[in-house]
Amino acid sequence: MNSTQGVLEACFALLYQIEGTAETKGLYVNGKPLEDYMPAGALYVLEFTSCINEYIKRPGMVDDLLRRPRLFRTLTPAIIRKYTALDVDGFAKVLYDIITSKGKNTVPTADEKSPDFIERCLYAAYVYTQIADFLDRQNATFALVPLNKGMTALAYINTGKKDIDEREKKGKIVVGDVTFEISKEKVSTAALMLSDFFLYESLRTQSAEIAVPLRDLAALKKRSTSKQAILKLRDEVLKQMKELKPLGYRCRERIGGKWKEAGKIDINGGTAAIINGVIRWNFNQDLYKQLSLYAPTDYPRELWSVDPRTNQFYFGRYIAQNRRLNEGKPGRNRIPIKTLISKTPNLPSYEEVTKKEKDEHGNTVQKGNRDVKGRIIKKTFADLDALESLYYDVYTADGKRIDNPEEMDYQTFISAYIEVDYGDYPQHTQRIEQRQRRQKKLKEAKEKREIEAAAKAATDKKE
């Protein structure tokens, strides 16, 4: 089953076949017999639909039902895989059996304590939404990832300014105005990709506690789920979590008009392990609270499956971040190439490629591969082109569109920009309107202050 499209219709068709017969005889609603309201099938459909809407609004409401293990159970990864392997009619039959308790003596009456049809409909709604959410995540192009200033900067930690003790390999790395405390000179790209995945999971589950089966992560990365492949992935994830666990960034607060150091916020909350094939990670609660304050970024899901040795993760992430920070602003889709390539540590600089050295005779020579076009320009566009979620054009500094950007010379390249087509990204009209209203208020407040200042200056001059 590739999607849940048609599942509800198929389930409803089965439910409508239920009549007010012995199967539902004695079923009461608000103290009155079912027959006083409507045919049983219509009532089940109405209640099931209502429960779906309620569950979406308040997913925690099903928790009490799941504490009744003899009647209800949570959906384990194995059950989810079993249900998603069914066709539409097969999954609709699963929901039908849950709602009607088919084959079980659990039809409620006024005297029985077995779950009534409302509870069964709620549990069916839980099953349906869990499967629908799983399939949506498997097929969606974008995911929502929460970011604050610290976690935004973390992805570019390998491009920051280092102050590392060469002997102890400890120190700090500054990215913009965010300072990280670090116990090594570099964090692997794969570990940074995993960090973003944990952020996504925290928002999806509305929890600082992450619990993801290795098989699910392997599927997201488009990797094999064979036993040998899972064991290899297990070793990789353990290594990556070991890199992330000691990281934290320094806090600052304004005191007496000056910014002062105010301690450190750790990223991890203490748990970083794999138990019974399940990755377990938690975020520091203070960091988790911060993340909930910001609108999330529409993050291309393909970034979790790209080769970490390329520039694709860094390019794709920055392009998505640019859209989030500048959504609704004029020129938001223009990104200078100089800015874009500054976000990746996997691309050599022009100076590195063209560096000249002295040979054994004291003569100035250039060593190594000096192919600027191949190592920088062509590599940049090859990695941009590899991102399936990205559509872009290249323009020179004076606005001329370039059809063959790989053939540019370096000076034209470094002063050019890309214009990104964000048309396929999810739209957030309400977010844009709120930003525009806020900017309008700020502008009005500024103009008011300027008028008041001018009036005061004029009065002071007269005096």
Q: Is residue 79 part of a domain?
A: yes
Separation CA 288–CA 310 (nearest Å) = 30
Residues 87 and 127 grouped into a single domain: yes
Residue 97: C-alpha distances to residues 66, 108, 132, 145 (Å)? 17, 15, 18, 36
Predicted structure pTM score = 0.71
Residues 345 and 322 grouped into a single domain: yes
Q: Is residue 2 part of a domain?
A: no
Q: Is residue 291 part of a domain?
A: yes
Residues 70 and 197 grouped into a single domain: no
Residues 106 and 242 grouped into a single domain: no
Separation CA 224–CA 214 (nearest Å) = 11
Q: Is residue 33 part of a domain?
A: yes
Contact 132, 4 (CB under 8 A): yes
Residue 71 is part of which domain span?
7-139
DSSP class of residue 426 equals P
Residue that is last in its domain, among 290, 305, 320:
305
Residues 19 and 125 grouped into a single domain: yes
Q: Is residue 458 part of a domain?
A: yes
Which one-letter amino acid corresponds to residue 406? E
Residues 150 and 209 grouped into a single domain: yes
Residues 237 and 268 grouped into a single domain: yes
Residues 122 and 196 grouped into a single domain: no
Contact 345, 192 (CB under 8 A): no
Residue that is last in its domain, among 257, 277, 305:
305
Phi, psi of 155 (to 5 degrees): -60, -20
Q: Is residue 387 part of a domain?
A: yes
SS3 423: coil
Phi, psi of 401 (to 5 degrees): -70, 140
Residues 165 and 252 grouped into a single domain: yes
Residue that is last in its domain, among 305, 339, 366:
305
Residue 397: C-alpha distances to residues 409, 412, 414, 416, 419 (Å)? 13, 8, 9, 5, 12
Q: Is residue 169 part of a domain?
A: yes
Count of domains observed in the chain: 4
Residues 384 and 346 grouped into a single domain: yes
Q: Is residue 1 part of a domain?
A: no
For 381-456, where are the E strands, in sequence order? 392-395, 401-402, 417-420
Please provide the DSSP assignment of 237-301 as one string.
Answer: HHHHHHHHTT-EEEEEEEETTEEEEEEEEESEEEEEEEETTEEEEEE-HHHHHHHTTSPPEEEEG
- Written as tens digits, the pLDDT of the chain (463 aa) is 666 768 888 998 988 887 654 345 555 656 666 566 666 677 778 888 888 888 777 766 777 777 765 667 788 777 888 888 888 999 999 998 888 876 343 334 333 444 567 788 888 888 998 888 888 777 788 889 998 889 999 999 999 998 888 777 788 899 988 899 888 778 999 999 999 999 999 988 888 999 888 988 998 899 998 999 999 999 999 999 999 999 999 877 778 877 777 788 899 999 999 999 999 999 999 999 888 888 889 999 999 999 999 999 999 999 999 998 887 777 789 999 999 999 999 999 988 888 766 666 666 556 656 788 999 999 999 999 999 999 999 999 999 999 999 999 999 999 999 999 988 887 776 555 655 566 666 677 777 787 877 777 777 776 6
Residues 110 and 193 grouped into a single domain: no
Residues 357 and 342 grouped into a single domain: yes
